[in-house]
Amino acid sequence: DTEVTQTPKHLVMGMTNKKSLKCEQHMGHRAMYWYKQKAKKPPELMFVYSYEKLSINESVPSRFSPECPNSSLLNLHLHALQPEDSALYLCASSHRDSSNQPQHFGDGTRLSIL
Amino acid sequence: TQLLEQSPQFLSIQEGENLTVYCNSSSVFSSLQWYRQEPGEGPVLLVTVVTGGEVKKLKRLTFQFGDARKDSSLHITAAQPGDTGLYLCAGEFYNTDKLIFGTGTRLQVFP
């Protein structure tokens, strides 16, 4: 069992829908990440939050909107997505008290855009 | 531009064989991590190597970080069907929150 919990596990939505992906960890980690993973490809970094502040946005389209309400929660709000946005969305967390800290991943949300 | 290249891309072997996966870059990393990912799951950390030349062993898996901190290898001895999965190396740059994943090696071990 992973210590990073992502919900929902699967999501099917139309291009005009608004939905949110949720991620939760209770390991006291102060850095949280969103990745996008297409089939047979490695994860690609989207956003990084460090101490609840957005520290990295990898030029992600504005139809993806991250939010970090507190140190344990990370959301990804979705609006007007395109079919090419269908992918596995992974959340991860790590300590930020020093460098070289490994990231712990959730099992992801598999998103399908109709 | 892919900063971390893994080879081979695919590997299909019989149970009991040995194998080595390589992770190469022209960039210097502060650390390098190896993950294994199975279908329907997120990547699971296997090891983190930090010091140039470092060797770490995890049961039948041996990980090495290159002296120049630009490359790494994973050697599996006597592979088992349970080793099947996608192996990913990932490098962290100094003083950043960014983890860059390698291109991945998909391993299939047949009984």
Instruction: Write out the residues of chain B at the interface with chain A, using a CB-CB cutoff of 8 A.
Output: 30-31, 33, 35, 40-45, 48, 50, 88, 90, 92, 94-95, 97-104, 106
pLDDT for A1 equals 52
pLDDT for A98 equals 63
| pLDDT score of A112 more than 90 | yes
Contact state of B95 with A42 under an 8 Å Cβ cutoff:
no
- Residue B13: what are its φ and ψ, rounded to 5°? -135, 170
- Encode pLDDT of B33-48 as tens digits: 999 999 889 999 999 9
| pLDDT score of A99 more than 80 | no
Distance from C-alpha of A9 to C-alpha of A89, rounded to nearest angstrom: 10
Beta bridge partners of B49: B32
**What confidence category does residue B98 fall into, taking pLDDT thresholds of 50, 70 and 90?**
confident
**What confidence category does residue A96 fall into, taking pLDDT thresholds of 50, 70 and 90?**
confident
